[in-house]
Amino acid sequence: MVTNELVSKAIEYIVENLNEEITIEDVADYCHLSKYYFCRIFKAETGEGVYAFIKRLKMEQSAIEMKLGKNKSITDIGMTYGYSSSNYSTAFKKHHHLSPAEFRKTVNAICAPHPYISDHLAKFQSFEEYNQKIEIRELADFWVIYERYLGNYLDLGEQWLTFVAKYQAYVNCDALLIERFYDDPSITKVSQCLYDLCMTVDANLRLENTTSIEGGKFAIYRFDGLIKDIYESLQGIFNIWLPNSGYKMDERYGLDIYRKIDRENSHVIMDLCIPIK
């Protein structure tokens, strides 16, 4: 868990401004800290230097954009994140071990390597099968208490148990458990995924770690199955449905809204919510 509030604030600033020329000084100034002190606490909390973190997120988010925007040129994607055509190709290949053109050929396939199950392929359904189960709905804003994590989704079960126990005093019958995700585990190393665990609370509650999650238009897929199969369903939506749907993912981030959890049988009912425009 990201326990330092200033580091969490810095990560949010970086995520929201990835398509800008972000410097270490910019982020330190935003947090009202000296550059050297900020760099020290950031690396202590995340295990990465600030510059390396910014560069990694640019490379990974640009790969996600390439995956979702099959008609957007590689040059335009690179420019979005501040790279010239040649510089982007060099930086991308250094990070992903594939050129942008080679990477683009690997996405939107009917199956892909599974990052959590070795020697296993995640197999996807057809566009029509996903489309039958997806609803386009407007969601209201959510007021939540949250904690930010930089780590492995395989730890989610224990993290949720700890989270709910910690904030038990704020639980009510209408409370929703929501996971906000920023990364794609097929692109980001599984040990470096960024996500927030959230619980809806009374709108009058004001704590340091309460915030608003923006609502709006979402493509919503009702998942009813085993926890181990969530990744495959979500990747199918991103790989098959979204690029062929006529919709685009907007600048908000995806949400997983839990509706029912049966821990004993590793079964869950949840809404996989993709923000679209």
- Which residues touch 232 (CB under 8 Å, ≥6 apart)? 114, 122, 123, 124
218 and 97, same structural domain?
no
When the pLDDT of each residue in the chain is averaged and rounded to a whole number, the result is 95
In a domain, 124, yes or no: no
In a domain, 84, yes or no: yes
Confidence of residue 108 (pLDDT cuts 50, 70, 90): confident
263 and 144, same structural domain?
yes
What pLDDT score does 109 carry?
A: 84
271 and 146, same structural domain?
yes
In a domain, 75, yes or no: yes
What pLDDT score does 249 carry?
A: 92
Count up the domains in the chain and report the number: 2
What pLDDT score does 69 carry?
A: 84
Range with the poorest average pLDDT among 16-20, 44-48, 140-144: 16-20
166 has a pLDDT exceeding 90: yes
Name the more confident of 67 and 135: 135
Residue-wise pLDDT for 205-227, tens only, equals: 999 899 999 999 999 999 999 99
260 and 184, same structural domain?
yes
Confidence of residue 173 (pLDDT cuts 50, 70, 90): confident
What pLDDT score does 106 carry?
A: 86
Residue-wise pLDDT for 1-37, tens only, equals: 999 999 999 999 999 999 999 999 999 999 999 999 9
Alpha carbon distances (Å) from 257 to 133, 199, 219: 16, 10, 13
Percent of the chain with pLDDT over 70: 100
Residue-wise pLDDT for 144-163, tens only, equals: 999 999 999 999 999 999 99
Question: Burial, 205: exposed, middle or buried (Cβ in 10 Å; 0-12, 13-18, 19+)?
Answer: exposed
What pLDDT score does 101 carry?
A: 92
What pLDDT score does 70 carry?
A: 78
What pLDDT score does 165 carry?
A: 96
153 and 42, same structural domain?
no
What pLDDT score does 31 carry?
A: 96
pTM: 0.94
Residue-wise pLDDT for 75-86, tens only, equals: 999 999 999 988
What pLDDT score does 107 carry?
A: 85
Residue-wise pLDDT for 50-74, tens only, equals: 999 999 999 999 999 999 887 889 9
Q: Return d(Cα 258, Cα 260) in angstroms, integer.
A: 6
**Cβ(161)–Cβ(177) under 8 Å?**
no
In a domain, 184, yes or no: yes
**Cβ(180)–Cβ(213) under 8 Å?**
yes
Query: The domain spanning residue 26 has which CATH number?
Result: 1.10.10.60
For residue 250, what are the domain limits? 133-275
In a domain, 192, yes or no: yes
In a domain, 235, yes or no: yes
In a domain, 155, yes or no: yes
